[in-house]
Amino acid sequence: MRARGVSFEQGAFSLVRLTALGSKTWYAFKEKHRTLEIFLFLLLQLLFMKIKIVCGIGQKKVGTKKGTVGGVLILVSFLLMPFSDLSADSSIPRYVLGIYDSQQQKPRLLSDNEGVEEFDSHDGEVNPIQQNLAVVLNHMGYLVEQLDIRNHPLPDAETMKRYAMVISWFRFDITVPNPEKYVPWVELQVKEGRKFLVLEYPGIEDNLRNLLSLKKRLYRAIGLEFGNSFRSKTNRIQLVNKISEMVEFEHLLRPPFPWYDLFRPLNVNIKSYLTVKYWLDKKSESIMVMTSPQGGMVAPGYLLFSEAAPPFRKKWKINPFLLMKSLLKSKFPIPDVTTIKGKRIFYSHIDGDGFRSISSVQYKKIAAEVILEKIIQKFPGIPIGVSVVVGDIDPDWWGNPKFIEIAREIFSQPNVEAATHTYTHPYQWQRWNRSSAYAPLGAFRYEREIDESIEWIEEHLLPSDKQVKLVYWSGDTTPPEEALVRVENFGKDHLNGGDSRKDNDYPSYTTVAPLMRPAGKRWQIFTSASNENLYTALWTAKFHGFRNVIQTFENTNSPIRLAPVNVYYHFYIAEKVASMQSLEQVLDWVQQQDLYMIYPSEYVQLVRGFISTELYELEPALFEIRNRGTLQTFRLDLGKVDLERSQGVRAIHQVNGNEYIDLDPEVEKPRIAIMR
């Protein structure tokens, strides 16, 4: 009985199939013998060419040589197994580039008072993408790096390889510097397969004729034809169609609608979520919100709703989670810093302000004594990070021997982790003439605030088995890169900033902070919730207000788990009876939850793991995880874990319809496979 002939196509199919099956077996070989691998790969390529010539592949008639060809291809497929995952040499891009204009910055207000919280004009990281979108992208596993188009050049092609998507967000109709270079750069990103998202204005004004063609080219790159504008009688603009799930997330669309530019789709791959027109004019129909294989656009007036008066609260019109998922379609295990072993993470920390304040809670005691007795010792099962402002304790400044004794007692508690809140409590970290609580104006020194404060605490306050773990940033909590570098070079890490809220007063995801902010080439790690200062109108009223942080904890857990539980406050919360009761109420709530409790420094290391994690797709739906540090939780928003093909997976937990995966810390490079 003669075997059936195998066609070239059948043999090629066998090659692909067997290569995929063999990739896991030969992966270790490829890692250790890279030079030999390249040599053999080139040799096999020459062998393929020889086979095609000898067997006449590509001619009209192959004849009896079909079986020979198919058999040879199957044989070669086994030889090619070590090289089947060459694509795994590059990690999956986990960075998003956000382009903004620093001249369009506005302050972010999170306090309940009527004033405006100011940011230094030199703080280039305060921008709409960092304020509003970074938290969404962090949740999806991405890091957001910023580019101030006003002061920095466009990245070159090699640098751009790290980015999965580019987002531009210009609040006003301005023209970027060198538009004749900017638009071709945008076109190049799209050509190389990188999504480009235009939020509000494109950065190219069309009031000058020589820029109109550039503006059309920019929109053409993402699949839109740009036309004229409709700028009169906005009460005659009507909605043609809308997908409410996308365009009415936190705020309903109501007339009058803003004037608009005319956008029409250039191909059938455009997905329109909102279309408007001018009264009865059919030809005036225009897309206002769309996505395409090349990127997307949200036109001015359809992105955010902003209050016109203080406190200038915002709400999303667009659904940022749905928009980002429709563009990025991330189908990889997502590093997650909210959960350990299926339980939501809890950590708590105290800023040193008010250590020596007189308390009305207990007669003749300072706030630090009250916190020690009523919080630290009353809740011994709750780990807590405690910092001091050294100027409050040091007798050469404002301290005395009694304060030293109290601080030593606090740091000796088994559930306390030590930190510094600097030496003199600087209020501004970015300004030239920085002020602080204790140092004279202009006397600011990084060495004193960081190095000397750490050394003084470790020498005078800590038991021999403890050391300072973190620097808790003071004041405006926006240190420049120079300060971050100094802390890290000293062998420590840092925390604070962010001021995250989602409660009845601030119900929007726009006020939920991301995990971090970029500062040069460094990352500042943010806290996961606001402290009592922002719930009490900057410590002027509503002293019971800190209890409302529970709303933030609940709202950032469901329907989307965005953040851990972070009980964060100052010593001065023990000044007043109402504020102290609010803290006790919060901690009572904590004890009723099923939480995984860690120290602040452990949380910071999890975020460091989020930053350093590299994901490699070895074969379709099989991912290897490298350089994750102490991070052991990954999440699947799409699909389910294939345990048979996975390695180093200890357990899987279901939370909010997603799979939270526990990894084995002993496995250096675990693999997570997703069912196909």
**DSSP per-residue codes, 617-659:** EEETTEEEEE--TT--EEEESSS-B-TTT-BSEEEEEEETTEE
pLDDT digits (tens, 9 = 90+) for 405-455: 999 999 999 999 999 999 999 998 987 556 677 776 557 899 999 999 999
Torsion of CA 53, 59, 63, 64, to 10 degrees: 20
- For residue 669, CA distances in Å to 118, 379, 616 come to 45, 38, 10
HSE value, Cβ hemisphere, 13 Å, CA-based, for 565 = 27
What is the Cα–Cα distance from 456 to 394, expressed in whole angstroms?
8
Cβ atoms of residues 472 and 497 within 8 Å: no
**Phi-psi category of 77—alpha, beta or left, where left has phi over 0 and alpha has psi -120 to 50?**
alpha
Amino acid at 57: I
Please state the length of the chain: 676
Residue 596 CB coordination number (10 Å)? 17
Cβ atoms of residues 671 and 646 within 8 Å: yes
* The pair of three-digit structure tokens given for residue 351, joined into one six-digit string: 């800023």
The DSSP call for residue 130 is: I
Q: Which band of pLDDT confidence, cut at 50, 70 and 90, is reported for residue 64?
A: very low
Using the structure block, give the residue that is written with the tokens 């692909």.
16
Report which of 611, 610, 624, 650 is spatially closest to residue 31, judged by C-alpha positions: 624
Report which of 624, 655, 551, 587 is spatially closest to residue 340, judged by C-alpha positions: 655
**DSSP per-residue codes, 369-412:** HHHIIIIITT-TTS-EEEEE-HHHH-TTTT--HHHHHHHHHHHT
* The pair of three-digit structure tokens given for residue 666, joined into one six-digit string: 């002993």
Residue 79 CB coordination number (10 Å)? 15
Q: Is the pLDDT of residue 154 over 80?
A: yes
What is the Cα–Cα distance from 311 to 113, expressed in whole angstroms?
8
**Surface-to-core class of residue 620, CB atoms within 10 Å of its CB (0-12 exposed, 13-18 middle, 19+ buried):** exposed
- For residue 494, CA distances in Å to 413, 466, 474, 562, 665 come to 22, 17, 11, 21, 24
Report which of 623, 614, 627, 629 is spatially closest to residue 647, judged by C-alpha positions: 623
- DSSP H helices, 284-336, are 320-328
Please say whether the dihedral angle defined by the alpha carbons of residues 80, 82, 85 and 87, taken in this order, is positive or negative. Answer: negative
Q: Cis omega (within 30 of 0) on the bond before 256?
A: yes
Find the mean pLDDT for residues 284-309: 95
pLDDT digits (tens, 9 = 90+) for 207-254: 666 788 999 999 999 999 998 776 666 778 999 999 999 999 999 999
More confident residue, 229 or 601: 601
Cα three-residue angle 377-380-383, rounded to 5 degrees: 115
- For residue 330, CA distances in Å to 136, 141, 322, 356 come to 13, 9, 12, 50
Report which of 7, 661, 674, 666 is spatially closest to residue 335, judged by C-alpha positions: 661
Q: Is the pLDDT of residue 359 over 70?
A: yes
The DSSP call for residue 452 is: I
**Which run of H or E residues covers position 45?**
helix 34-55
Strand pairing class (493-495; 470-472): parallel
Cβ atoms of residues 602 and 337 within 8 Å: no
Using the structure block, give the residue that is written with the tokens 């949200």.
298
Q: Which band of pLDDT confidence, cut at 50, 70 and 90, is reported for residue 120?
A: very low
The DSSP call for residue 138 is: H
Q: Which band of pLDDT confidence, cut at 50, 70 and 90, is reported for residue 653?
A: very high
Find the mean pLDDT for residues 489-498: 97
pLDDT of residue 172: 84
Cβ atoms of residues 475 and 489 within 8 Å: no
**Surface-to-core class of residue 265, CB atoms within 10 Å of its CB (0-12 exposed, 13-18 middle, 19+ buried):** middle
pLDDT digits (tens, 9 = 90+) for 450-483: 999 999 999 999 999 999 999 999 999 999 999 9
The predicted model scores a pTM of 0.86
Amino acid at 625: I
**Surface-to-core class of residue 580, CB atoms within 10 Å of its CB (0-12 exposed, 13-18 middle, 19+ buried):** buried
Find the mean pLDDT for residues 568-589: 98
Query: Phi, psi (5° rounding) for residue 201?
Result: -95, 150
Cβ atoms of residues 418 and 386 within 8 Å: yes
- Least trusted range by pLDDT, from 50-59, 172-181, 363-372, 587-596: 50-59
**Which run of H or E residues covers position 563?**
none
More confident residue, 39 or 611: 611
What is the Cα–Cα distance from 281 to 604, expressed in whole angstroms?
57
Using the structure block, give the residue that is written with the tokens 């019109």.
317
Q: Is the pLDDT of residue 623 over 80?
A: yes
pLDDT of residue 126: 63
- DSSP H helices, 101-199, are 128, 134-139, 179-191
* The pair of three-digit structure tokens given for residue 523, joined into one six-digit string: 């990352």
Q: Which band of pLDDT confidence, cut at 50, 70 and 90, is reported for residue 676?
A: confident
- For residue 432, CA distances in Å to 120, 123, 477, 478, 664 come to 10, 12, 15, 14, 48
